[in-house]
Amino acid sequence: MKIILKKFSKNFGQVEVIKDMDLEIESGEMVALLGPSGCGKTTTLFAICGIHNITSGQILFGDRVINNVPTQERNVGVVFQNYALYPHLTIYENIAFPLRIRKMEKSEIDQLVQEYSEMVGISNLLSRRPMHLSGGQQQRVALVRALIRKPNVLLMDEPLANLDAALRLRMRSEIRRIQQETGITAILVTHDQVEAMSMSDRIAIMNDGKIQQISTPTEMYSDPKNTFVAGFIGNPPISFYNGVLQKNYFVGTAMKFELSEATLSNGIQEEQKLEIGVRPEYVHPNFGDEVEGKILFIEPQGRETLYDIELDDGQVIRSIQMGSQQYQMGERIQWGMDHKNILVFDENGENIFSKLYGTSPKL
């Protein structure tokens, strides 16, 4: 079932939470909705499943406008951010609830509940009540309750936030497997970009009630549309550095280098303010010498080591290098950047035809 949002807006009284959002999700696709807290992710999900009326715009399932279709008839499965399990019912009854509402046969319900609860490993908890379950267990119950009636659309609001690392890995692939097997169209809200990248076909990044960019994880990483996306995706995060265009050069107070053809050919003017984004893996001693400063902070991560370098004008650039710590705190260094893999943004933060080419850094 294809989901289409057309110029969808949502206000709460005077507060404009979502403004003219357009979003298209193909049938059978899983899209991760990624964005900072309060940007409107839950609001978007609630509009799709019909809990909130939308202020303007259209929501379509397939080619049917469902603005006025009641929630009950949209056949959407939702995993709520706070699970929303029914506290007065046992786990069994919680999972069976949607089936009971549909007046399904008892034996059939029994069979389905057993099957689904085994799938996520909660079949031993069926007789308990939600408040006697751990957060992770509750989350799995919520997931199963959303899936058991085979909805056309599955909306998940941070379904894995409360799980431990191992269980989270397992559930990621489990959810993805179920989604692909059933061909269900799904939206996954998450704060975890690794989760977003590994589980979904495409990622939609939201900020301030707007979709900033929607594309595949790889593209999102290498060709972010603006500084927000560039900053949001990537861990450790990208570092930004301010400067201006002079001749064909990007010139900052502590750094200067020549810009690429692609960027230059797009009508940027002399003395225009620019901001470059450098991903940490493209800052390395082997790349040259324009990054000159002292090491401000070192974060050993085992396989890699992260260095924060303070340039002479006070701006900070981050570098990640394979291997254990090689330099000392406060040490003055002179490293370089891979010029082919530098992102350039204009003063509004929009990307100026720059992207990462992914040439493996000379390490």
Cβ proximity to another protein: between 71 and 207 the closer is 71
Per CB under 6 A, which region of 30-38, 177-185, 293-301, 323-331 contacts ligand ATP?
30-38
Per CB under 5 A, which region of 76-84, 125-133, 172-180, 290-298 contacts Mg ion?
76-84
| DSSP symbol at 360 | P
Interacting partner of 15 out of another protein, ligand ATP, Mg ion, none (Cβ under 5 to 8 A depending on kind): ligand ATP
Among 1, 5, 31, 41, binds ligand ATP (CB under 6 A): 41
Q: At its nearest, how many Å lie between ligand ATP and the CB of residue 142?
A: 15
Our finding on whether 351 is near ligand ATP (CB under 6 A) is no
Residues in 51-90 at the binding interface with ligand ATP, rule: CB under 6 A: 81
Which helix (H) or strand (E) is 135 found in, with range?
helix 135-147
Cβ proximity to another protein: between 79 and 245 the closer is 79
Distance CA(286)–CA(290), nearest Å, equals: 11
Interacting partner of 78 out of ligand ATP, another protein, Mg ion, none (Cβ under 5 to 8 A depending on kind): another protein
Our finding on whether 17 is near ligand ATP (CB under 6 A) is yes
State the binding string over 154-173 for ligand ATP (x if CB under 6 A, else -): --------------------
Instruction: Tell the residue number behind the tokens 């069994």, with chain if given.
Output: 92
Of residues 173, 118, 192, 188, the one with CA closest to residue 148: 118
Q: At its nearest, how many Å lie between ligand ATP and the CB of residue 14?
A: 9
Classify residue 238 as exposed, middle or buried by CB count within 10 Å of its CB (0-12, 13-18, 19+).
buried
Interacting partner of 12 out of ligand ATP, Mg ion, another protein, none (Cβ under 5 to 8 A depending on kind): ligand ATP
Cβ proximity to another protein: between 145 and 225 the closer is 145
Q: At its nearest, how many Å lie between Mg ion and the CB of residue 41?
A: 5
SS3 category, 36: coil
User: Which residues, including other chains, have CB under 8 Å from residue 104's CB and lie 6 or more apart?
Assistant: none
Distance CA(122)–CA(132), nearest Å, equals: 13
Q: At its nearest, how many Å lie between another protein and the CB of residue 134?
A: 8
Distance CA(168)–CA(203), nearest Å, equals: 19
Interacting partner of 38 out of another protein, Mg ion, ligand ATP, none (Cβ under 5 to 8 A depending on kind): ligand ATP
Which helix (H) or strand (E) is 258 found in, with range?
strand 256-258
Interacting partner of 162 out of another protein, ligand ATP, Mg ion, none (Cβ under 5 to 8 A depending on kind): none
Are 164 and 205 within 8 A, CB to CB? no
Our finding on whether 227 is near Mg ion (CB under 5 A) is no
Among 42, 190, 321, 351, binds ligand ATP (CB under 6 A): 42
Classify residue 68 as exposed, middle or buried by CB count within 10 Å of its CB (0-12, 13-18, 19+).
exposed
Among 1, 3, 32, 43, binds ligand ATP (CB under 6 A): 43
Residue 196 token pair: 């977003």
Q: What is the DSSP string of 58-101?
A: EEEETTEE-TTS-GGGS-EEEEBTTB---TTS-HHHHHHHHHHH
Are 237 and 231 within 8 A, CB to CB? yes
Cβ proximity to another protein: between 78 and 278 the closer is 78
Q: At its nearest, how many Å lie between Mg ion and the CB of residue 40?
A: 9
Cβ proximity to another protein: between 135 and 358 the closer is 135
Residue 295 token pair: 């090491």
Interacting partner of 57 out of another protein, Mg ion, ligand ATP, none (Cβ under 5 to 8 A depending on kind): none
Are 116 and 108 within 8 A, CB to CB? no
Distance CA(194)–CA(202), nearest Å, equals: 13
Q: Which residues pair with 25 in a beta bridge?
A: 3
- Phi, psi angle pair for 235, to nearest 5°: -140, 120
Residue 71 token pair: 């929630």
Q: At its nearest, how many Å lie between ligand ATP and the CB of residue 111?
A: 35
Cβ proximity to ligand ATP: between 37 and 68 the closer is 37
Our finding on whether 42 is near Mg ion (CB under 5 A) is yes
Which residues contact ligand ATP (rule: CB under 6 A)?
A: 12, 15, 17, 35, 37-43, 81
